[in-house]
Chain A
């Protein structure tokens, strides 16, 4: 399979008051060309930092790639100079952000910002650039492109701004689009529109997408493959269907089970994961999830399990077999099961 992105043992650290804090700690994964991969995690999991590392944007916010390689079409982005990165950023790899109002420049019109992106990457005239900008506006589903190009970001709604962001990101026909929580700031009906747009763009342009989200529902709808991250480490990598059929990592399972389902039993206690996410400067020894894990043993507190293959999937846990055994005993994954299978009760 043709791989557009191969990340190996990426370590990204930030300079803090008490030395370096590793926000991403030894992350490795591949992305096949034309696929959509989702990185799912909670705040502080390192999912955004992974994306910012690929774009080499961490350097602008006091961070540094300390180890590892980021191969994009075989070339290591971690070793590129800033000048070389500028040519790749926004042209072969584009990124869209969570909050489109802060990502757009408030003092320039939409047209100016899209044509700027086009002119930077293509040797064409201004007129031709505006014509292409109009095309882009139409492509992302905004009506009346001529009028839109003359508007300023504050004149647009949240959903429209995100469409403009996507138009700018796609203006250079990138091979890889990184979307960092693109719909988190939007309402459900607008979220549905933007996800639909991303799906259709991916089909039409055979683009690879890396989507970062905290919403397991969005990942279920968009991803071919899902990466579950926790406190800077990858816990599990699985094809979407496999993950939802049977999560292999206790954290994945906890995450899946703690979301109320639209067809689940109402009013019953939800399965929840005890405790809270550790701060990055006080990550526990051994497996990062061990203090919250119902399966944790002595070994887990001492030794971080490696991310190992299990068929086509990868998981970093010492107790996968126990989890599987437990789950096969109780096929019913509905409310209350976490308790019955001898695991700690939800913490109330």
Chain B
């Protein structure tokens, strides 16, 4: 059995979405002309976790870590290479066309870029109305009433029913994207970097809207973002991804107050904080994220990890419960309350004593 498939936090909360050993590999050209050997980019590499009903699970990581790919594979907007996705205990990867279409009503996505994700030739009414047409839910006056309710729900004026996307600002377009995603009253929503393309003063409006709607409609949300402060604010639990793998997963406070994985700790120490008085011990990671086409052996993070040893190059650390309900994939997880700097200096001390 794969180490990562060990069950993750089991609480009283019931999982709505269960992801087991999910893999998404993209073939890239490699090798000789005749041999045609294919190399694979492991964008999502054997990921297992659960999303509980009613929670917001934040997913953070740097660009290319596979967080967006993971979100799309869960919704089957891309077909996973391998693994299972359970929605309400049913394996949706086995679903055929019409079954899947039915299911789409219950799972929706909000995209990052409100400029390219709305069809410029459709009016707002048509953009949202398309959802009702496809699923044959409402027609005519009833459809229009529903659309106007949705427009109002996301804080826009229903009189703008006949306006086109270019007549709206970035924040307003993102509201339209949210209205479209919520039009069919889904239970599960993947929000893929919903505020990254927006100006600061507009970001908080959209975050507030998402938090409010989640509460009112009882949504379960997978919130993908790279802004740590945003993820911290909105999430109940947080997963940290690095090169296709989840390296740490726990409740938000655990992750942010007592990170166990050195990558998380380093990531947190580098966030530019909007307060000059908060002088943090900054651990600036050396180097860059390696190419996912050619990840390091063993632990993928070891090439940049200040705590890495030979063991990390040989043995890949599984995602294990290192503390109560706190999962990390590291051979040398930080202890509770231990900073990365302390861990580095204690590692150096132990090495010195060996050489003596």
- Give A residues with C-beta under 8 Å from B: 42-43, 157, 159-160, 187-193, 195-196, 214-218, 220-221, 240-241, 244, 254-256, 258-264, 266-267, 269-274, 276-277, 346-348
Asked whether any CB of chain A lies closer than 8 Å to the CB of B1, the reply is no
Chain A: minimal CB distance from B152 (Å): 12
Q: Are A260 and B230 in contact (CB under 8 A)?
A: yes
Residues of B within 8 A of A157 (CB): 288
B299 to chain A, nearest CB (A): 16
- Please tell me if the beta carbons of A191 and B270 are within 8 angstroms of each other in the complex: yes
Residues of B within 8 A of A214 (CB): 199-200
Interface bracket on B:
35 or more
The winner among A188, A214, A240, A255 for most chain B CB atoms within 10 A is A188
The answer, yes or no, to whether B5 is at the interface (CB within 8 Å) is: no
CB distance from B325 to the nearest CB of A (A): 17
Which residues of chain B from 192 to 223 have any CB-CB distance to chain A below 8 Å in the complex? 199-205, 207-209, 211-212
User: Are A276 and B272 also in contact (CB < 8 A) when A190-B288, A244-B277, A260-B207 are?
Assistant: no
6 A-B pairs (CB sep. < 8 Å): A188-B228, A217-B273, A258-B201, A260-B204, A264-B233, A267-B234
Instruction: Give me the 3 closest cross-chain CB pairs, A-B, nearest first.
Output: A217-B272, A192-B270, A260-B233
Residues of A within 8 A of B277 (CB): 241, 244
B62–A346 touching, CB < 8 Å: no
A217-B272, A220-B273, A221-B272 known; A189-B205 Cβ under 8 A = no
A260 to B271, CA, bound (A): 12
Looking at the assembled complex, report how far the CB atom of A73 sits from the nearest CB atom of chain B, in whole angstroms.
Answer: 29
Cβ–Cβ contact A42 & B289, under 8 A: no
B256 at the interface (CB under 8 A from A): yes
Once A244-B275, A276-B171 are accepted as A-B contacts, the answer to whether A262 and B204 lie under 8 Å apart by CB is no
Are B199 and A277 touching (Cβ within 8 A)?
yes
Q: Tell whether, in the assembled complex, residue B211 and residue A267 are in contact, meaning their CB atoms are under 8 Å apart.
A: yes
Given A159-B288, A196-B284, A244-B277, does the pair A189, B204 have CB atoms closer than 8 Å? no
B165 to chain A minimum Cβ distance, whole angstroms, is 14
Chain B residues whose CB sits within 8 angstroms of the CB of A187 once the complex forms: 62-63, 226, 289
Which chain B residues lie closer than 8 Å to A240 at the CB level?
A: 276
Q: Is the CB of A348 within 8 A of B272?
A: no
Q: B232 contacts which of A188, A192, A266 (Cβ < 8 Å)?
A: A266
